[in-house]
Amino acid sequence: MNARLNYFTSPIAGKTLKHLMPAGKALKNTSLPLATQELVALRVSQINGCAACLDMHTKEAAAAGESAVRLNLVAAWREATVFTEAERAALELAEEGTRVADAGRGVSDEVWARAAEHYDEEQLTALVILVSFMNMVNRLNIITQQPAGDYEPGQF
């Protein structure tokens, strides 16, 4: 599979992505646990079918010490016993935040309340930005057919 274009070398992308990509990196320095960030990034990318992001975040999570069992069970997190209640709340928020058109109403008050039980305002803000950011990057990769498999941890 070949990418339709390399948006990192495109002049217009260079002018816009140089402002957007640091936002993703800035999330790493928030109090939202890194493990939660990677699990959420994986779940959003699974829902959207973004192979490039699945490749990246699976490898980044593994390099950070995440277990293969947890990585393999993200798609079935509701039935899996390996996630904390806080992680489950984050994954639920990520799903509803990604599938906003499906529900026709966005994130429900119940889902938001469950997330707010486990995360403070800074962490909730980081979680919302992460879900939004991942959806944007997923769409960039999917539209341009970015291939997966060659990502090396720490590459970006």
The rounded distance, in Å, linking the Cα atoms of 155 and 38 is: 15
- Selection from 137, 130, 116, 144 nearest residue 53 by Cα: 137
Per run of 10 residues, the mean pLDDT along the chain (length 156 residues) is 74 76 86 96 97 95 94 98 98 96 83 98 97 95 87 76
Q: Which fold has domain 11-143?
A: AhpD-like (1.20.1290)
What was the pLDDT predicted at 23?
Answer: 82
Single pTM value for the model: 0.91
> Where do the structural domains in the chain lie, given as residue ranges?
11-143
CB within 8 A of 55, min separation 6: which ones?
A: 148, 149, 150, 151
- Spacing of C-alpha 145 from chain mean position: 18
What was the pLDDT predicted at 24?
Answer: 81
The rounded distance, in Å, linking the Cα atoms of 96 and 100 is: 6
